[in-house]
Structure 1
Amino acid sequence: MKPSLSHAHPLWLRSARTELLLFGAFALLLLGLGIGLRDPWPSDEPRFALVAQWMVEYGQWLFPHRGHELYPDKPPVFMWLQALSYYLVRDWRIAFLLPSLLAAFTVLALVYDLARRLWNHRSALLAAATLLVTIHFTYQMRNAQIDPLLLGWMTLANYGLLRHLLLGPSWRWFAAGCFFAGLGVATKGVGVLALLMLVPYLVARRGHWRHLALPVGGWRWAGGLAMFFLPILGWLLPMLLVAHADGDPQHAEYVQNILFGQTVHRYATPTGHIHSPFYFLGIIAVDWLPLSLLLPWALPAWWRRLKRRDARFLLPLGWIVLIVLFFSLSPGKRDVYILPALPMTALALAPLLPGLLRRRGVRIAVCTLTVLLAGGLSLAAALAIHRHPAWAVKIEQSLDPQIWWMLLSIGVAGLVITALTRVRRAPLGWLLFAGVLWSVYGLWGYPMLNGDRSARDVMVQARAVAGPDATIGLLAWKEQNLLMAQGPVAEFGFLKPWPQQYAEAIDWLRQDPAQRWIFSLDEAMGTCVDRHHATYVGHANRREWWMFKVEAVTPGCVPGIAVDQEADDAP
């Protein structure tokens, strides 16, 4: 039994409890500053927020909608939580980010608590801090996407399983772990991978590894695994019953797509994000900085502990290997797929961190990283401000030129921090630099970039052109356009080919030409709209947008299909 916080040996202050409170405040600063200062940004945030908003307005909880079309690409759990968050705070700018923020704090707390129980407070606090300032974790957990929530469920599942397998027997924690793995399935399908933790456990049990619980009770294993299906059935059964009862063919198609098209088919035959089998090695090396800098020293240390048959290392490390191998086998890969492995990596590093962070080689590596990143930002921003190179001019076509002053401020602050902390306190230097980077980005970058990234500015301008009472029809729209639309709007489907949307839009426009406008992507109009009689609305998300009335339409003309109809928005 590990000592309580009041008796734990602190890391650098007199009280372990005070250290934990300060860490929580720092985590809130890193992850929370900027919430309420921006709207959802592409590529995924506007889609999920739009679905959640539709749930609140129309009560469509079982069958999510993107506008008037069903949205079958993801289960609705994440959007449910966004909608429930709105009921709590009544502000979509805050509500859409709350599930990710809560998931981030849950993951940090679980890594800390499990590492403290397995080792001690000092190792646990360093593990949680290392995870917090790892670029991939901080960046993803500040976004309103499904993956941060999935990370929360899978880490809860891992926590429950490891409490049982390493610190147990504890059948309640085993059942809880299985339950949260099921919630992960109901959120994004791959939550079942949390149960792969049983594979290295079976290896350790058969090999009589140390620090391993040996729970006995066959029926309890089955009962715990039954908890895995509870949240899945809690979502599936109502959906299937309603789809069967109403006989709606769209609901039947939705069920087919969500159960098979977005899981098995997408894994086996992906249509995008095709990468080599070694793709995730690059993600670990770059996106997991600065944690990845520790791996050259950690790998031999882990190997020595595995040779000693220490199950506290085999279970998390074996699970990480299985996760990376699983996703490497599919041709389609994205960086977020292996995000659930990051907390377990921090956990496995926990007992090594007090020693690793004292090594001069580690400190030199961390200091070099801080200098390179801060210096690179400073140099690029200074060149953009004073020399205006072609790459900077191209960026300024989409972004506010003030971005260079923001990056310069961050870079200079990083260089000053490095000069003060030097190699001796390089880990503290990175901690402070990360605090400056994400705080400035949230407080300065969010308001500065929001107008273009969220399409708010262009939709406000569209309403100014149309007037307060006219209805705006959206043609070739993106989710952020409908989400940010002001006043009465109509839309003609999201997945329909542009020529079909155009034809329906023109018919709709002619029904009431005095009170209706079309808001359209430039490419979707082709040569069928006279730009001299149309109104240019603005630039947003790397696209040009126009508005026109019936007099700008060329009779009998049908535009062709543009090649980028399904192109992703900027990340």
Structure 2
Amino acid sequence: MHSPAQRARLISIGLLLLSFALNLQLLDRFPLREDEALYSYWALHLRQEDPWLLTVWPDKPPLFLWAQALVFQFVGATQATARLLNIGITVTTAALLIATSRRLWATPGLLAAVLYVLNPFALSFAATAYTDPLLVFWGQLALYLALSRRDLGAGMALGAAIMTKQQGLLYVPLVFALSLLAVPPLPTVKQSVKQPPIVTTRTKSVLRLVSGLLFITGPILYWDSQRWAVAPSPWDLSVRHYGGLALADATLWPERARAWAGLLWYVGGNWLGWAHYALLALLTLVALWPRSRPGNHQARPRLAPLLLAGWSVGFLVVHLITTVQIWDRYLLPLLPIIVLLLEPAVANRARIGSFGKPKFAAVVACVLLTILLPGGLRAARGEVPLGGDHGAYSGLTEAVTWLTSERSTSDAHLPFLLYQQPFGWQLQFYLYDATRNDAVEVRWFANEVTLADNAAKSPAQRRFLLQPQWQSTPALALHLATRNLQITARKHFGMLTLFEIQNRPQPPCPWCLCTPATAQPQSTEHPLWSTFPTPPSLPSVATMRNAGNRSE
């Protein structure tokens, strides 16, 4: 007979296995999107050619790129292996939520695990190569270590979050606040050692946090400073690329609110999901509100949700009223905080510090599993418009495979030319080896005229055009024809078509017909002389003299 704690552990393991299985569904189904391919290209370039990133300039701190490069080192660089890191990180984050719930609420953590494992937001970003899942993992680890009074480790995890993505700075106030909130255990009667003052304890806690933070950020910032003579800092580039953080015009706030609300909708998934979230929030208030009284050592459970809720509201307000880009992945750090806030809904009413009734928790978990599983399965199949590609680029990997195979069997000495418009960042990653070996050359074109002109200047090379169905170039055939070129569809791959541009066949002509060379007498006459009329023959000087002598 298993104890309640053992049953909770078994259910937790089952949920983690379910998370891993669901996340694997999108491992290799769709190609990488633009930013995913760009980050993977940076990591691959860092590993193979440029560890200092002097020839390519990323606008993200290097920690994610180093981790991705390490994955490529051991398992190779493909679109599937590019997603392995975040799949493992997402499952580990679910385990951290269970541990954090036990530390913060003294509950089994099953509710938080179910809400996170089956959430469309988490599932949509698990099988991606974005930096955000790793950012969320480090931030969640920092929160757990801060609640566990491991301030040095919390500072190190916070530094890792900041060095993964600039948004890691948003975790700083929450980690410091929870670290100061974690009160030391009360001394027992048998303990005779006098406890240090609370001010001294909190000062040491802050010092340890700062030390851990500097331990991670210091060496990485020093590494970055060694590049400044050649390459700009990622922090500077991010401001150039995305614009500085500023207060948005107040007239744009309603529009921004609607856009963020449209993305936030997928946290619940549907009306039924949000209804259950509202019910769980009500149960959380019932479980927490009457449990803490002034002077009680259980004041922490009352302040912790206020901190978490306050941080969540501040997070949304910052994204609403500032010029932060409205992108779905920017909301990912909010999801673990939401599920942590809903975890006390299954706490025992007798006391918040107990593990609660296992049967009650199991029933709630089963009900939520029934409600949330359909939405989770839709997200696992890529049917939720979040995260990576959902079919717009389908066929890209097959097209690249066909092109590289065709090039390997060709005896041409010049590289194939591949013209494209929307696939520049993806092809940098997919054709990394082919472009380095001069087997394929990728060229971007602005319009049909520039494409036709450039193709006409490379008549000795095989020229291809990779084009999606949602992009059209209606005048391309005309512009090619004016340059004696023609275009033919070679292969169809999913949503993409691979065209080949060829020289148009010309009819035979006398002056351009090649004939076997025969020995001809060499003439010293200039070829232009034949174009002039032949002058009449003139008598020679001797003939004229003889005629004169006869007349005398």
| TM bin (shorter chain) | 0.5 to 0.7
- Distance in structure 1 (CA, Å) of the matches to 2:204 and 2:463: 65
What do residues 319-356 of structure 1 show as CA deviations (whole Å, max 9, x unaligned)? Answer: 21221122112243222212111111111211203689
Higher relative contact order (CA 8 A, sep 6+): 2
| Paired residues for 1:115-130 under 5 Å | 115-122=101-108, 124-130=109-115
In structure 2, do the counterparts of structure 1 residues 40 and 219 end up closer, same or farther at CA, with 3 Å as the change threshold?
same
Secondary structure class of the residue paired with 1:276: helix
8 A contact 1:452–1:458 mirrored in 2? no
8 A contact 2:15–2:117 mirrored in 1? no
- Distance in structure 2 (CA, Å) of the matches to 1:424 and 1:179: 34
Secondary structure class of the residue paired with 1:468: coil
Q: Does 1:517 align with 2:517?
A: no
8 A contact 2:463–2:502 mirrored in 1? yes
Q: Does 1:490 align with 2:441?
A: yes
In structure 2, do the counterparts of structure 1 residues 502 and 440 end up closer, same or farther at CA, with 3 Å as the change threshold?
closer
Aligned equivalent of 1:44: 35
Aligned equivalent of 2:98: 112
What do residues 510-549 of structure 1 show as CA deviations (whole Å, max 9, x unaligned)? Answer: 3xx4344354556498554239612324566866553325
8 A contact 1:284–1:292 mirrored in 2? no
- Distance in structure 2 (CA, Å) of the matches to 1:202 and 1:92: 40
Of stretches 293-302 and 186-195 in structure 1, the one that deviates more from structure 2 is 293-302
Q: How many residues align?
A: 441
In structure 2, do the counterparts of structure 1 residues 469 and 8 end up closer, same or farther at CA, with 3 Å as the change threshold?
farther
Q: Give the TM-score taking structure 1 as reference length.
A: 0.65
In structure 2, do the counterparts of structure 1 residues 44 and 454 end up closer, same or farther at CA, with 3 Å as the change threshold?
farther
- Distance in structure 2 (CA, Å) of the matches to 1:161 and 1:16: 24
8 A contact 2:155–2:209 mirrored in 1? yes
8 A contact 1:475–1:505 mirrored in 2? no
Q: Give the TM-score taking structure 2 as reference length.
A: 0.67
Q: Does 1:339 align with 2:341?
A: no
Q: Which amino acid aligns with 1:140?
A: F
Higher normalized helix content (fraction of residues)? 1
- Distance in structure 1 (CA, Å) of the matches to 2:82 and 2:257: 34
| Paired residues for 1:17-32 under 5 Å | 17-32=9-24
- Distance in structure 2 (CA, Å) of the matches to 1:79 and 1:490: 25
8 A contact 1:101–1:141 mirrored in 2? yes
Question: Higher Cα Rg: structure 1 or 2?
Answer: 2
Pick one of 256, 274, 280 that aligns with 1:292. Answer: 274
Pick one of 57, 80, 89 that aligns with 2:66. Answer: 80
Secondary structure class of the residue paired with 1:242: coil
Q: Does 1:261 align with 2:203?
A: no
8 A contact 2:419–2:442 mirrored in 1? yes
In structure 2, do the counterparts of structure 1 residues 300 and 203 end up closer, same or farther at CA, with 3 Å as the change threshold?
farther
In structure 2, do the counterparts of structure 1 residues 449 and 285 end up closer, same or farther at CA, with 3 Å as the change threshold?
closer
- Distance in structure 2 (CA, Å) of the matches to 1:339 and 1:300: 23
| Paired residues for 1:440-479 under 5 Å | 452-453=393-394, 455-463=396-404, 468-470=410-412, 471-477=415-421, 478=423, 479=425
Aligned equivalent of 1:330: 322
- How far is the alpha carbon of 1:150 from its aligned partner? 1.4
Unaligned runs of 5+ in 1: 1-5, 164-169, 207-212, 357-421, 443-447, 553-571
In structure 2, do the counterparts of structure 1 residues 540 and 454 end up closer, same or farther at CA, with 3 Å as the change threshold?
closer
- Distance in structure 1 (CA, Å) of the matches to 2:382 and 2:259: 28
- Distance in structure 2 (CA, Å) of the matches to 1:274 and 1:184: 31
8 A contact 1:200–1:319 mirrored in 2? no
- Distance in structure 2 (CA, Å) of the matches to 1:96 and 1:33: 15
Secondary structure class of the residue paired with 2:53: coil
- How far is the alpha carbon of 1:113 from its aligned partner? 0.6
Aligned equivalent of 2:128: 143
- How far is the alpha carbon of 1:192 from its aligned partner? 1.0
8 A contact 1:50–1:483 mirrored in 2? yes
| Paired residues for 1:405-554 under 5 Å | 426-430=367-371, 433=374, 437=378, 452-453=393-394, 455-463=396-404, 468-470=410-412, 471-477=415-421, 478=423, 479-485=425-431, 487=434, 488-492=439-443, 506=455, 510=458, 513-519=459-465, 521=467, 523=473, 526=476, 528-530=479-481, 533-537=486-490, 545-549=498-502
- How far is the alpha carbon of 1:97 from its aligned partner? 1.1
In structure 2, do the counterparts of structure 1 residues 537 and 258 end up closer, same or farther at CA, with 3 Å as the change threshold?
farther
Q: Which amino acid aligns with 1:174?
A: D
- Distance in structure 2 (CA, Å) of the matches to 1:8 and 1:318: 37
- How far is the alpha carbon of 1:175 from its aligned partner? 2.5
| Paired residues for 1:242-253 under 5 Å | 242-244=227-229, 248=230, 251-252=231-232
- How far is the alpha carbon of 1:179 from its aligned partner? 2.1
Aligned equivalent of 1:368: none
- Distance in structure 1 (CA, Å) of the matches to 2:289 and 2:381: 42
In structure 2, do the counterparts of structure 1 residues 61 and 149 end up closer, same or farther at CA, with 3 Å as the change threshold?
same
Aligned equivalent of 1:313: 305
Of stretches 127-136 and 424-433 in structure 1, the one that deviates more from structure 2 is 424-433
Unaligned runs of 5+ in 2: 184-197, 293-298, 350-362, 384-388, 506-552
